[in-house]
Structure 1
Amino acid sequence: MASGDKKVSTYVFLHLNTTCLPDDDECQITEICMFASRRNTLEQSGGHTEIPPLPRVTNKLVLCLKPDADIQEDATDVSELTNESLSHQRRFSSHTVSAMQAFLKHLEEPVCFIAHNGNTFDFAVLKAELNRIGQPAVFVPMFCADSLYAVRELDPPAEEVSFELLSSSLKRKSGDSTKTSLKRTKTAPATSTKQTPGHTSLLKKSYSSPAVPERQKRSYALREYYKDKFGMLPRNSHTAEGYCKALVTVVQTTPKFCEWANKNKQKMSTIQPA
């Protein structure tokens, strides 16, 4: 079996705080966290509907870094890091890379990075920093997967989700006969001539309930998605470690995430630097 076909043994949740926000160019890293957990541990804790405890056995590396660029105000608002607070930290360098490599070698292989919006930000910014210090080949053989795509696919705000809520509501109110009527009128349920006035009234009432619009307006940005699922913002998510922990919680409560990540993982070599 080729190494690319092997199941990932360890997931390394990666998050970067930077000098600017993702929409801006040439961000430099101000804080990096790698938070590692074995795949089997995450699979065993999956399927929760409430906030589960984090896995007991984890490994982590957290580094704060002094950037060459000024930290933009909006980035400080997110991370609470300033040029002054980082003035006595080391810059991103070959020593930073060596520390990261040593950490990764401590973990059971195969290893895969997981980052939320990683393809266009975390992985891309990391590769740009590696290019900047003349070490572009580092981490190229590593696997990576973007959890943003995972939750969009595994927990979609699709019309069929809203339709299931609607159908369930109508079934409770009107009995099993409503289900057949709904199937015939899925595209325009409120205007169908085959429905009785009672059914039309129920459909209008169901569509005006708050549950359906909430699903349709779902944000997949990690903090907002977390709040949508659990009714609160994640604790300390302004820190790279706190953000990683929030991402672990999302993974723990997303059925089939590990299966998705193993199927959709790619090599870091496919990521374009920011």
Structure 2
Amino acid sequence: MSVQREPIYNFAFIDLETTGFPSQKSTTRITELSISIVESKQLSLGIFPTVLDRINLCFNPCKFISPYATRISGLSNHLLQNQSRFSLNVVKTIDNFLNLHKKPICFVAHNGDRFDYPILRAEINNVKGTTFEDILCIDSLKCFRDLHVESNTSIASPSNEYFCREEVDGPFSKKAKDIPIEFSDGLDELLCKSVDEYEEFVQMQNIQKNNETTPQKRINSKKYYKSGKQRISFKLKDIYKRLTSNKPKNSHQAEVDVEYLIQCAIKYGDVFTRWANDNAKLFKDIPQMKPAFSKITV
């Protein structure tokens, strides 16, 4: 249930690159952070901002960056060896940057609830920083999934809460003809960015091993959502390609992924901002990534 609050004025699109995939036995650290601010009214009108306030920071994680993470982000321990660590000053810098803009402000991250937000919370907690008490957040993965469903049911159900307005324009209005009918139920929280691709890589290795040892019970390796013979992915690069008809380049670079995310949100326009206002929650309420970080000696 949504909480009654003042409508979101600014969206802070955020993306992280990290040292690798977090697990129960190993922490992951931020190697790059990118935030871009976009006014809600610009998104509602479907306008890409002519002025885009942004901050982009790279960090020495003081931890080995996995070869996989280096391959997809281009960041290595050698490249980051002279960068500063994630510190209390970094938290203050981010906070000051956010405070330059009118509130309420809402973070937008793709798979943010399971990846970006918990990892950022853990980094902030590790340096004993304050967790942006009044900043809201949404997970664009959940948003785009929900709006995809709504766009495909709006014609059949005129009472649809997001697509029932006649003024909704663009490729997701009720007049659209190019939306593929390809949604099915299922969990999609893991279909995202490097987390998804890393898991898929590990899963393929396990599949090969299991199929070699237990051929009587083969494993389905497809991590898509089926609807009849069709299937759909909610990875950011695939959403971007579907919505813009452009092929993504240099994905998994934080600043680039933020721009892709903004472009996708703009395609939904007012529908996106209404969903965000209905589903936003406080960033401080997101649980931090576990396990806790081990203290780094300076």
- TM-score tier, shorter chain, comes to 0.7 to 0.9
Matched, 1:229 2:226: no
CA contact (8 A) 1:157 1:218 kept: no
Cα distance, 1:96–1:238 mapped onto 2, change above 3 Å:
same
Equivalent residue for 1:89? 83
| Cα separation, partners in 2 of 1:268 and 1:165, compared to 1, 3 Å | closer
Does structure 1 residue 121 correspond to structure 2 residue 115? yes
User: How many Å separate the matches in 1 of 2:180 and 2:241?
Assistant: 23
Aligned twin of 1:18: 18
Moved over 6 A (4+): 163-167, 212-215
The Cα of 1:229 is off from its aligned counterpart by 3.0
**Match of residue 191 from structure 1:** none
| Code of the aligned partner of 2:134 | P
Q: Is the 8 A contact 2:43 2:265 kept in 1?
A: yes
CA 1:72–1:108 in 2, change beyond 3 Å: closer, same or farther?
Answer: same
Tell me if 1:104 matches 2:119: no
SS of alignment partner, residue 223 of structure 1: helix
Q: Does residue 1:220 correspond to 2:220, yes or no?
A: no
Q: CA deviation at 1:269?
A: 2.3
Cα pair distance change 1:15/1:57, threshold 3 Å: same
**Which AA in structure 2 matches 1:40?**
K
CA distance in structure 2 between the aligned counterparts of 1:103 and 1:7, rounded to whole angstroms: 20
Amino acid of the residue matched to residue 260 of structure 2?
A: A
| Residue aligned with 1:152, SS | helix
Deviation at 1:233, TM superposition (A): 3.1
Normalised TM-score (structure 2): 0.67
Query: Which one of 49, 59, 62 corresponds to residue 53 of structure 2?
Result: 59
Q: Mind listing any 5+ residue stretches in structure 1 that lack a counterpart?
A: 47-53, 168-211
Give distance in 1, aligned partners of 2:228 and 2:44. 28
What's the CA shift for 1:68? 1.4
Aligned residues: 220
Distance of 1:223 and 1:22 partners within structure 2:
21
Deviation of the 1:234 alpha carbon: 2.3
Distance 1:97 1:18 in 2: 17
Partner Cα distance (1:243, 1:271) in 2: 22
- The superposition leaves residues 138-175 of structure 1 with CA deviations (integer Å, 9 ceiling, x where unpaired) of 213311011111100001399869x99899xxxxxxxx
Is the 1:16–1:32 Cα contact (8 Å) retained in structure 2?
Answer: yes
Shift of 1:221: 1.0
Q: Secondary structure at the match of 1:92?
A: coil
Residue identity over aligned pairs, in percent, reads 30
Q: Name the residue aligned to 2:212.
A: none
Q: TM-score, normalised by structure 1?
A: 0.73
Are 1:144 and 2:137 counterparts? yes
Q: 1:103 to 1:158 in 2, by over 3 A?
A: closer
Deviations 1:206-238 (A, max 9, x none): xxxxxx969941111101221233344323333
CA distance in 1, matches of 2:111, 2:180: 32
The 1:214/1:17 distance shift into structure 2, 3 A limit, reads: farther
Instruction: Tell me the secondary structure at the aligned position of residue 246 of structure 1.
Output: helix
Q: Find the residue that maps to 1:148 and give its secondary structure.
A: helix
Structure 1 residue 45, shift from structure 2 partner: 1.3
CA distance in 1 between partners of 2:229 and 2:103 (Å): 38
User: What secondary structure is seen at the aligned counterpart in 2 of 1:21?
Assistant: coil
Instruction: Please list the CA deviations of residues 173-215 of structure 1 after superposition, one character each: whole Å capped at 9, or x if unmatched.
Output: xxxxxxxxxxxxxxxxxxxxxxxxxxxxxxxxxxxxxxx9699
| Residues 243 and 267, structure 2, Cα contact 8 Å, conserved in 1 | no
Rg comparison, structure with higher value? 1
Contact 1:116 1:146 survives alignment (8 Å): yes
Question: Equivalents in 2 of 1:78, 1:166: separation in Å?
Answer: 29
Task: Note the aligned Cα RMSD (angstroms).
Answer: 2.9
Q: 2:254 aligns with which of 201, 217, 240?
A: 240
